[in-house]
């Protein structure tokens, strides 16, 4: 708070904010880059009877300075520990009209490549889900080379994205993590009568596929969505939600929306929680004691949206013996859109892709900042220390910051 007050006094502003068009501001060896917008929450707490309230959380965004896109919003000075001294956010790949960068990001450290899946659905102005989606990869070395040759820190570049020829044993990949034993661990929704599944895919040609799981004791899953490897037990946790049916590419659901734990060593699979309306993104604290799960109940596919249903991240304790998720409590309610993919950094901050970019909360659930793209972001991944890749359907952004993501790979 003293830092805030000092900054306000120095600038002579009651609202404590700068446009990205303003020159850099130096304070105690801190330089705010041209892409940063600083917003004191006290300046927005009261809008009054004539205020322009947002009544639609999916189509309207919170950009009080009308700053150019993309930019970084700071709501609390603790976000500076995430950003470091010279943060940046850049558009690095774009294919207009094609949602090639939707979900399932995995960074493969050995090759420094990021893999991700495409979307489908006529609601995006794209083709129907009558065919399998595709997996693409992006070379991070190419990204860094392109940015190093850019004219300034805000410049956009457009590197090549390569679609992979992967066997159809995996259908409609909606989530991914790892690497797991050097392979991509894909969480697949399935399509039609082709079942939901967990699969391992070789990141190198011929991209052979190994199916690890495609049923719960003979019963089909609804449409698997996202997952993570537990950092201590190294078991696989994943969410199952009815979005395949709600997007017309899976049959009528036959099981509840639930979160599962799968042990590849023994083959055992069990439910760890069934309390969420539509469980989606999933992540663990670095010590594995806390699980974060997004509930996207506000969105129901062809049934429409209901803003009074959940659009929040819930926090659970992970039982040290059974690893069942216990003591559920609200962690963060999303102000724009829904919480989709979730990641955690080594400082305990929680990141989620949302309706206007990526939101970041401290471990107490306080919103400290946003990577504001002004468009829906469905997932994200750290591609090494300080390299945050943000998927935004037809675009990919890279935020270069100070924070480091927790380890997702095993071993």
Q: Which helix (H) or strand (E) holds 284?
A: strand 279-284
What is the pTM for the complete model shown?
0.92
In tens digits, what is the pLDDT along the chain, a chain of 411 residues? Answer: 333 333 333 232 223 333 333 333 333 445 667 899 999 999 999 999 988 999 999 999 999 999 999 999 999 999 999 999 899 999 999 999 999 999 999 999 999 999 999 998 665 556 678 889 999 999 999 999 999 999 888 999 999 999 999 999 999 999 999 999 999 999 999 999 999 999 999 999 999 999 999 999 999 999 999 999 999 999 999 999 999 999 999 999 999 999 999 999 999 999 999 999 999 999 999 999 999 999 999 999 999 999 999 999 999 999 999 999 999 999 999 999 999 999 999 999 999 999 999 999 999 999 999 999 999 999 999 999 999 999 999 999 999 999 999 999 999
- What confidence tens digit (pLDDT) does each residue in 152-190 have? 889 999 999 999 999 999 999 999 999 999 999 999 999
- What confidence tens digit (pLDDT) does each residue in 255-294 have? 999 999 999 999 999 999 999 999 999 999 999 999 999 9
Tokens 């927790």, located at residue: 406
Nearest one of 271, 177, 277 to 216, comparing CA atoms: 271
Burial class (CB in 10 A: 0-12, 13-18, 19+), 92: buried
% of the chain beyond a pLDDT of 70: 91
- What confidence tens digit (pLDDT) does each residue in 124-136 have? 556 678 889 999 9
**Domains of the chain: which residue ranges?**
70-404
| Beta strand residue intervals within 75-188, DSSP E | 88-94, 103-108, 113-117, 135-139, 162-163, 173-180, 183-188
Fold (CATH) for 70-404:
Neuraminidase (2.120.10)
- What confidence tens digit (pLDDT) does each residue in 348-375 have? 999 999 999 999 999 999 999 999 999 9
Residue 143 DSSP code: H
CA distance 139 to 29: 34
If DSSP codes are grouped into helix, strand and coil, which group holds residue 53? coil
pLDDT at position 331, please?
A: 98
Instruction: Give the ranges where 288-349 is alpha helix by DSSP (H).
Output: none
- Pairing, β 269-273 against β 325-333: unpaired
pLDDT at position 78, please?
A: 94
């Amino acid at each position: 708070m003293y830092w805030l007050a000092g900054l306000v006094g120095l600038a002579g502003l009651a609202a404590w904010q700068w446009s990205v068009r303003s020159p850099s501001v130096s304070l105690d060896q801190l330089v705010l880059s041209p892409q940063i917008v600083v917003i004191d929450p006290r300046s927005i707490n009261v809008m009054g009877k004539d205020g322009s309230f947002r009544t639609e959380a999916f189509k309207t965004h919170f950009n009080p300075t009308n700053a150019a896109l993309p930019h970084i919003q700071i709501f609390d000075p603790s976000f500076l520990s995430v950003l470091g001294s010279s943060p940046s956010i850049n558009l690095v790949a774009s294919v207009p009209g094609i949602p090639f960068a939707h979900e399932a990001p995995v960074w493969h450290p050995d090759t420094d490549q990021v893999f991700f899946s495409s979307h489908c659905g006529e609601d995006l102005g794209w083709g129907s889900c009558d065919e399998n989606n595709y997996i693409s990869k992006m070379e991070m070395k190419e990204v860094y080379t392109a940015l190093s040759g850019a004219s300034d820190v805000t410049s956009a570049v457009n590197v090549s994205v390569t679609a992979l020829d992967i066997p159809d044993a995996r259908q409609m990949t909606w989530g991914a993590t790892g690497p797991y034993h050097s392979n991509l661990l894909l969480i697949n929704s399935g399509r039609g009568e082709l079942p939901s599944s967990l699969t391992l895919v070789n990141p190198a040609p011929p991209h052979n596929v190994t199916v690890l799981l495609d049923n719960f004791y003979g019963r089909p899953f609804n449409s698997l969505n996202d997952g993570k490897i537990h950092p201590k037990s190294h078991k696989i946790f994943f969410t199952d939600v009815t979005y395949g049916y709600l997007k017309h590419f899976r049959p009528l659901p036959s099981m509840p929306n639930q979160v599962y734990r799968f042990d590849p060593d023994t083959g055992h699979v069990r439910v760890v929680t069934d309390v969420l309306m539509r469980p989606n993104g999933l992540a663990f604290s670095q010590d594995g004691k806390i699980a974060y799960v997004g509930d996207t109940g506000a969105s129901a596919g062809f049934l429409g949206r209901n803003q009074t249903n959940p659009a929040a991240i819930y926090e659970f304790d992970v039982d040290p013996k059974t690893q069942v998720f216990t003591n559920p409590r609200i962690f963060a309610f999303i102000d724009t859109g829904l919480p989709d993919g979730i990641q955690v950094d080594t400082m305990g901050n929680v990141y989620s892709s949302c309706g206007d970019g990526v939101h970041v909360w401290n471990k107490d659930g306080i919103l400290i900042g946003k990577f504001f793209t002004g468009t829906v972001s469905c997932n994200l991944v750290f591609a090494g220390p300080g390299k945050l890749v943000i998927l935004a359907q037809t675009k990919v952004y890279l935020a270069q910051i100070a924070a480091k993501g927790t380890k997702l790979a095993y071993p």
